[in-house]
Structure 1
Amino acid sequence: LKLKEISYIHAEGYASGEMKHGPIALIDEAVPVIVIAPSGPLFEKTVSNMQEVRARGGKIVLISDAAGLEEAGEGCMATIEMPSVHPLIAPLVYAVPVQLLAYHVAVAKGTDVDQPRNLAKSVTVE
């Protein structure tokens, strides 16, 4: 969402299990795919999805811990090594590099990261 809001790039987040239900049809050599995958019980399923992305020419940026990068980092366009953390706090820790990516993409595009267009500070429910 942050990538959309400040850099005006279409981006969607999907759970790995949903990739074969639509998003995979969009993947080609022009589509970068950011994979957020700490090592753990479901990591093998994510690696399988990464292989599907590679088979379609997609470029992968893998964000994982050292064990995950060792197992699946080869062949990625880029990797970001994260610390090994408890699964309950992993979403908080892993959000940081994605937010920084959104910021730097927006700056590179010359967009105003402090005042994104068409956004309000609050949402009104009617």
Structure 2
Amino acid sequence: MGEAVDRLQVAHANRPLYLFLNVGLHWMIFWWNPSQPAAPGQHLRIVDARGTGHWDVDPRVHSPLAGNIPFNANTPPLYVDNNRVIHTNQAVSLDCMTWTAQGALQHQRDLDFLETCIQSIYNAAAAGQLPGQNDPSFECA
């Protein structure tokens, strides 16, 4: 998360956007909004898997709900609780190789949610809700 924030504060210092954080086969989406940082004491925190330690998250990183990503009964549970704590053990899976005994993808709901997120971002961009363009100097070669 820290490396992503370091990059965002240079590449998108004033531009709100969605942030996908991926580790291995798990991911989480957040809302980066540098113009509206969380109020003091209202920022997100990451808790370790054992629940024994936590780290404060940059106040410009918000829950995906702030960016209007649609969580509902058909999506995986939100990994940010009502106390603004990020539970990494609830990250969404990218596993598209594990099948159930019935021949269905084990993590189909997670994969569907990824598609929903991408479609929501596309719709927001098409509606002009995500202004600006990437600085060409930050584009991948």
Shorter-chain TM range is 0.3 to 0.5
TM-score of the pair, normalised by structure 1: 0.35
Larger helix share, 1 or 2: 1
The answer to which structure, 1 or 2, has the higher relative contact order (CA under 8 A, 6+ apart) is: 1
TM-score of the pair, normalised by structure 2: 0.32
Larger strand share, 1 or 2: 2
